[in-house]
Chain A
Amino acid sequence: MCSVQETSLDLNVNIKPATKDCIKCKTTKATVLIRHSTYCKKCFQHVFVGKFRKNVEKSRISSNSTKLNGCGEKVMIGFSGGPSSRTMLQLINEYNETHPHETSKKCAYSEIIVCHIDESVLFNYDSTSSTFSQESTILQVEKIVQKYNYPFIGLYLQDIFNPDVTKSGCYSNVLELAVDDAKILQLEEGSVVAPTEKLLHLLNNVSKSTAKEDFIWYLKLCYLIFTARKNGCKRLFLGDCSSRLSIKIISQTSKGRGFSLPLETSGEIDWFEDVIITRPMKDMLSKEIGIYNQLNGLESIYVPSMTSMMHPKASIERLTEDKEFPSTVSTIARTGAKLTPSDSIVKENRCVENNKIWQDRITVMTIPSLHKSEECNGQQSSSNKTTSRYDNCNTINDESTTNVEFMDLLCYACRVNMLYVNVINQRIILPPYVAEGVEEQKNNNRKQMKKQIENYLLCDDEEL
């Protein structure tokens, strides 16, 4: 899902001194300059494809060692249409057709599905006529994918609100956020709020583009994972290239996502248990990708992001993209590659549980003595007020999850994001998969509580 646009696909890169030989074959004149190394076309392509194969091989070996050598996995390619995922699609195709290291004619992957999520809903939606000023990208993408004869799934981002985008596949409740609580709501059949409206309503009430971009990205990622799962794909290929990853490392760090950073930047991660995410493009610079695509005539489509063409200070993501750091992309990418998710993370859908007291202790927002007489207990309960906006007391009734409980289920950075969600006059609806996650977590807590007191329960009713 690389959205970095290669602006200069110039093959006639200025090489100093004027002519130089390819550093690999040493016989042909070099035409490509990649980070102080000069290559001829042939060697460049060889090296480029080699890097890709190395990553793919590695991931195959590691997964085959765990389960007995099957006849290849079913995989899904997340295809944005951008240059990087375009290259990835081509290379995976080549890799699957010819497989040099095995004598048997087995394919590396038993089945390949290509999935694209259309985000045109985010741009200039005209609610009166229900039309988009920007055309859907699905048709363009489908045209590309048709060349490969792979099954294609075209999705719209707003459909994340559909009940089938959940673990159980038919969870239709949504999570509604309000000033003082977060409720799991049964959506009546009669209500004909289109998913588009819901999504736009949610995003329009996120006040900062940084948080908005974060929301969009996680909706997208979750949608991809759910789709892969639904189609029985064991592996999801994402086309993040190293330029993209280094941007992500910096911006994620800046957003407080240190815990989950390895999940989103490493070459291979099995965090989502049944769907392994692989990033085979992680060692390629966007420049290399641009050159490769040009040499091989691979066309890509332009996928704008929300802050494309905006001021650099529009969002953290945008600022990081804009910044030219005095260190190379690969340094950052390598640093990121050395990190691993901490063992202490409690497994949860997309947010990790960590020390919640932490934030409240170092950012004192209320004077405890004004709310509660005893400071210690006051800390616990007044820390509930994650911001002064939630200042109204929490009315706890059976059906609702308090906002505080909901916040507890989020990771640190998502909690920061939630601060930018405007809930004062609005009721914000989060997609069903979030509601499902919350309910599941609640049930887990009940189960754990029950386990602790198990021996003392007299009747064994299954009521949770």
Chain B
Amino acid sequence: MVRHCVICNKERAAVKRPKTGQKVCRECFYYVFETEIHNTIIDNKLFKKNDKVAIAASGGKDSTVLAHVMKLLNERYQYGLEMFLLSIDEGITGYRDDSLETVKRNQQQYELPLKIVSYSELYGWSMDQIVKEVGLKNNCTFCGVFRRQALDRGAVMLDVDHIVTGHNADDIAETVLMNILRGDIARLQRCTEICTTGDGCVRRSKPFKYTYEKEIVMYAYFKKLDYFSTECIYSPNAYRGHARTFLKDLEVIRPSAIIDIIHSGEAFEVKKEVKLPTQGVCKRCGYMSSNELCKACVLLEGLNRGLPKKVHGDMPRDTAIIPHFNRIQVSKGNYDDSNKPIEESKSNNKIDQG
């Protein structure tokens, strides 16, 4: 017997939605998938008309679907957004160079301008070099911290108002669990925010906050989207992996668990008497930081001094100032990029127009 879609009752059901367990046809699946993202964008007032938005594109499934859906919704609902693709080249041979090829194909498919920012140009270190120096143990810390700042730097170069990232519901639920397990109360509060803003930082949001990873894969699969699906060659993050398996088990027991966790995370309220670290700015580069120096500067300093093992702790005051960051000045809540020769001199920094 042919099973009909529970939504339209006409077409043959093609998938069982991971989020709800409903059996739906493809068209209805597309509709609910896209509409949920649209609702998320509208309800949280993520964009203003004529905003310039950078889509953080890694070439993976999340960002590929994000680029696709953003372009589609922008046209369907007339958000009036001007969109760019922004990629970070961590300099991982055999991984990032391949995925960047995917991004370049995406750029042509979606006709969006693409900008690639590389670690070696920003920090003077590629991930390959860093791994050579620090080994495979803490390397993900470097990569994560550097990428966050690199995205911001790239956004400033593109002069956009907003960055959207492909973090999905699974990622956020994992982070909630991880922060409980680690006892990181400050991050626990922040991690479910859909949109983050800080002094001198570009607004950053996650339109996929309520979108299940499985549905993203499903969407990419049915739409035959072109994406790159290889794990990073430098070992996956062990701690996150732990939370990830737990979350997957939870999802098996109760499919709504992922959304339930996010809901819990949003509901948490920290007692007034609990001290939270105050957010300030890094004294060296002006990036937001809860310590004197931001994590990126601390890590970089360690690398340049040849003390890569020392990942934690503040740096001594007499450290030489890293030339690159010296040029960043904070002005009017935005980086002043007017006098930076690096960007213009490097060829791959120019915006490829199609």
Contact = CB atoms under 8 A, between A and B. Distances in A.
A210 B35 CA distance: 30
Contacts of A327: 181-183
B327 interface: no
Given A253-B176, A326-B181, A335-B185, A316 B267 contact: no
Interface string B38-55: 011001000000000000
A316 B254 contact: yes
Q: What bracket does the count of chain A residues touching chain B fall in?
A: 35 or more
Contacts of A259: 264, 267
Interface in A349-373: 354, 358-359, 361-367, 370
Interface stretch (A175-183, A278-286, A294-302, A339-347): A339-347
Contact of A313 (B22, B40, B188, B249): B249
A345 to B, nearest CB: 9
A134 B264 CA distance: 37
A333 B264 CA distance: 16
A413 interface: yes
Given A208-B254, A256-B260, A315-B253, A342 B8 contact: no
Interface string A118-137: 00000000000000000000
A388 interface: yes
A442 B210 CA distance: 33
B252 interface: yes
B8 A367 contact: yes
Q: What bracket does the count of chain B residues touching chain A fall in?
A: 35 or more
Contact of A258 (B32, B179, B263, B274): B263
The main secondary structure of chain B at its interface with chain A is: helix
Contacts of B253: 208, 210, 313-316, 319
Nearest to B188: A335
A310 to B, nearest CB: 12
A387 B257 CA distance: 16
Given A210-B253, A249-B180, A325-B181, A338 B260 contact: no
A388 B185 contact: no
B31 interface: yes
Interface string B235-266: 00001001000100110111011011101111
A332 B180 contact: yes
A3 interface: no
Interface in B194-232: 210
A93 interface: no
A20 interface: no
Contact of B250 (A249, A254, A416): A254
A29 interface: no
A250 B180 contact: yes
Nearest to B276: A338
A359 B267 CA distance: 14
Contacts of B185: 335, 338
A342 B271 CA distance: 9
14 contacts: A253-B264, A256-B261, A313-B249, A313-B253, A316-B250, A316-B254, A325-B181, A341-B269, A342-B267, A354-B267, A359-B259, A364-B35, A370-B7, A416-B260
- The 9 residue pairs across chains A and B that have the minimum distance between CB atoms: A258-B264, A256-B260, A258-B267, A362-B210, A331-B183, A259-B267, A340-B271, A253-B264, A342-B269
Interface of B: 6-8, 19-20, 22, 28, 31-32, 35-36, 39-40, 43, 176-177, 179-185, 188, 210, 239, 242, 246, 249-250, 252-254, 256-257, 259-261, 263-272, 274
Given A250-B177, A256-B260, A342-B269, 11 more contacts: A249-B180, A250-B180, A313-B249, A316-B253, A323-B246, A325-B181, A327-B183, A340-B271, A362-B210, A362-B259, A416-B260
